[in-house]
Amino acid sequence: MIGASKARALLAVKIVHTVVWALFVLCIAAIPVLTWRGELVAATWFVGIVFVEVLVIVLNRWRCPLTPVAARYTQDRRANFDIFLPEWIARHNKLIFGGLYLAGIVVLILGWATERS
């Protein structure tokens, strides 16, 4: 029974982690789209929302706070042990989506600059 309860707990953490991750990915993707549509205030809000996530990760020594929660329920330490993502995406998550986030910020800055011209 202990193994089954740990498996259920890990499943719950992985589901929550995946949903939260997907919401932040949608926020990152929305930044250039909203900028392109001229919705600069909304895009700026999304930059701020993701920035809060970045602060949480930085203050947590570059790890999601859900990772140590998931670690309580398994010995597995693959890059995706705590989330439903392919291992290569989980391994390079910060690089991929951090780069997209920074690119979105650049696009937004250019959007604000051209709007004021």
pLDDT digits (tens, 9 = 90+) for 87-98: 999 999 999 999
Q: Is the pLDDT of residue 48 over 70?
A: yes
Has this prediction a pTM greater than 0.75?
yes
Q: Is the pLDDT of residue 55 over 80?
A: yes
List b or e across 108-117, with b for residues whose CB sees 16 or more CB atoms inside 10 angstroms.
Answer: beebeeeeee
Rg (CA), the chain: 17
45-64 mean pLDDT: 97
Q: Report pLDDT for 2.
A: 60
19-43 mean pLDDT: 98
